Amino acid sequence: MTPSGDCFDLIKKFEGCRLKAYPDPATGGEPITIGIGHTGPEVRLGMVISERIADAYLVKDVQDAVEAVNNLVRVNMTQGQFDALVSFVFNCGAGNFAKSTLLKKMNAGDVVGASLEILKWSRAAGKEMPGLLRRRAAEQSLFLS
């Protein structure tokens, strides 16, 4: 499957776009982020990029999340489920998704159970994060649409 505009809109809404690298809000350090939620070994504090580069990072990072969802989910999905899971993987990482109860429930065909699992991922560095609560609620809503 491929992501719809709703997927990109959700990611952009919650990630925002910052052209100067910044530390993770939960840890005050790693991972250092730039653009629209881009992290990686090349991102350093003080780094500045253009909007064009931010958009290129987003396309690559979303494609990585798309591949993870397409490879790990073994049941048919609606577009809303797919888009929500791509946003989730973009934010939480493919490794976390691969080990998650969310994926287990999805692959077992338990759509309601999977949707409830999305809401459990609202912590960062051991702290409840209001922004993550809002993001997970939006992902759950898209998942159930």
Task: Measure Cα distances from 5 to 12, 15, 51, 84, 113 in Å.
Answer: 10, 15, 18, 12, 26
**Peptide bond preceding 130: is omega within 30 degrees of 0, i.e. cis?**
no
Half-sphere exposure at residue 56, Cβ-oriented, CA atoms within 13 angstroms: 5
Q: Nearest CA to 94 among 65, 117, 115, 58?
A: 65
CB of 76 closer than 8 Å to CB of 88: no
In the 8-state DSSP scheme, what is residue 108?
A: T
Task: Let me know if 42 is a catalytic residue.
Answer: no
Active site residues: 15
